[in-house]
Amino acid sequence: MPKKNLLLRGGLIGGALVILFLFTGGALLYTWVSFPSLINTEKDSVYFFVRTGSQYPQVYMDFKKSGMLKYDRGFDWVAKKKEYPANVKPGRYLLLKGMSNSEIVDLLRSGKQAEINLVFNTTRHFDRLAGIISRQIEADSSTLVNAFRDSANYRKYGLSTDQWRAMFIPNTYRFVWNTSAEQFLDRMNQEFKKFWNQERETRLKEIGLDKFQLMSLAAIVQEETFKPEDMPKVAGVYINRLNKGIRLQADPTVIYALGDYTIKRVLLRHLLFDSPYNTYLHSGLPPGPIRIPSLQAIESSLNYAKHDYLYFCAREDFSGYSNFARTYSEHLVNARKYQHALNNR
């Protein structure tokens, strides 16, 4: 075959190979960059978590283990091309079905994470609160418990040990997932100050209590009834007793002082336990809240029902509601009905 023809044929084959390479390479590049990556097509979206301090190799490994990516090698290629390894940001990221590798990398690089609705309600113990919070943010339970118990944190916010529970106002808050224990406490302090706005401060002056006393009252109300309808009435009873200089004689304060929540009936020997929290022995409100009260209990105490009741006890039908009385003799009748029902049960 003539040399010219060989050169021509070789050129054609080489050109074809180049074209084939460009085509397949371009197709592969297009696939890696643009092809939808989420393998979990049954869901419209999934969350991916990047822990604080994570480096790119860990993020990539977490992606591979999760099975979210259809083309994990493509993700790796795009991530390195877009310099994501040098721009890893912790957080909780919402990945939508159909997102490309390029879109995923852009989202992770941006740090624009999906916020959470952090929710907590009334609770007696900080251990339990730590468990509730740790299931919603990055800070773990033990770190939160240590932060709750650290007296340095009380002093940081200008609070005493007795006042500490008052800082936590149960509600729903918008948070980023990668929140530390310290950041959580800072936010709770901000929300506490925000909650006690001018309107509520004015209401406190009308009642004659400060915010910590109000929270102490709300905590007792919370322990006394779980019925929302009864909360303002129960709060009204204690306000009446405070105004008349009558000891509150609230059983939950005695139980708190003893630290024994297995007590179902408060007996005379319990009432004699000396503690500033025992409202049978000491006048006025206890030094601080005996639990973190619910928002409902707080508002019910701020807007207590005005009446002339001085006593209440649980109804004998075990409905959870209370019987209220103006005089001690009326109260004894109600109390005997309940005690009789308890004995029969």
Per residue in 247-287, pLDDT tens?
999 999 999 999 999 988 889 999 999 999 999 999 999 99
Q: What span, in angstroms and rounded, lies between the C-alpha atoms of 99 and 206?
A: 57
Q: What span, in angstroms and rounded, lies between the C-alpha atoms of 281 and 274?
A: 7
Cβ atoms within 10 A of the Cβ of 283, count? 11
Q: What span, in angstroms and rounded, lies between the C-alpha atoms of 104 and 57?
A: 16
pLDDT above 50 (res 12): no
pLDDT above 90 (res 3): no
Paired tokens of 91: 């957080």
Burial class (CB in 10 A: 0-12, 13-18, 19+), 85: middle
Q: According to the model, what pLDDT value does residue 21 have?
A: 41
Sign of the Cα pseudo-torsion (247, 253, 257, 263, in order) = positive
Please give the DSSP secondary-structure letter assigned to residue 260.
-
Q: Name the residue with tokens 């709300």.
A: 218
In the chain, the N- to C-terminal Cα span, in Å, equals: 112
φ, ψ at 311 (rounded to 5°) = -140, 155
Percent of the chain residues past pLDDT 70, beyond the cut: 88
Average pLDDT estimate for 13-29 = 44
Q: What span, in angstroms and rounded, lies between the C-alpha atoms of 98 and 23?
A: 24
Cβ atoms within 10 A of the Cβ of 234, count? 27
Q: According to the model, what pLDDT value does residue 39 have?
A: 55
Q: According to the model, what pLDDT value does residue 7 have?
A: 43
Tell me the CATH number of domain 28-110, given options 1.20.120, 3.30.1490, 1.10.10, 3.30.930: 3.30.1490
pLDDT above 60 (res 29): no
**Least confident window among 27-36, 70-79, 242-251:** 27-36
Helices (H), the chain: 3-34, 56-66, 72-81, 101-110, 126-134, 141-149, 151-156, 181-195, 198-207, 211-224, 231-244, 251-258, 268-271, 295-302, 328-344
Percent of the chain residues past pLDDT 90, beyond the cut: 76
pLDDT tens, residue by residue, 56-74: 999 999 998 888 888 788 8
pLDDT above 70 (res 293): yes
CA 115-118-123 angle, to 5 degrees, is 170
Q: What span, in angstroms and rounded, lies between the C-alpha atoms of 129 and 178?
A: 18
pLDDT tens, residue by residue, 118-154: 999 999 999 999 999 999 999 999 999 999 999 999 9
pLDDT above 80 (res 335): yes
At 2, the pLDDT band (50, 70, 90 cuts) reads: low
Please give the DSSP secondary-structure letter assigned to residue 164.
G
Q: What span, in angstroms and rounded, lies between the C-alpha atoms of 339 and 2?
A: 118
At 36, the pLDDT band (50, 70, 90 cuts) reads: low
**CA max distance for the chain:** 127
Q: According to the model, what pLDDT value does residue 37 have?
A: 57
Cβ atoms within 10 A of the Cβ of 317, count? 11
Q: According to the model, what pLDDT value does residue 38 have?
A: 59
What is the model's pTM?
A: 0.85
**pLDDT, mean over the chain:** 89
Q: Distances in Å between the alpha carbon of 4 and those of 9, 17, 82, 260, 278? A: 9, 20, 47, 102, 110
CA 266-272-276 angle, to 5 degrees, is 100
Q: What span, in angstroms and rounded, lies between the C-alpha atoms of 159 and 124?
A: 19
Q: According to the model, what pLDDT value does residue 94 have?
A: 95
Q: What span, in angstroms and rounded, lies between the C-alpha atoms of 307 and 301?
A: 14
pLDDT tens, residue by residue, 165-206: 999 999 999 999 999 999 999 999 999 999 999 999 999 999
Where in the chain are all domains bearing CATH 3.30.1490? 28-110
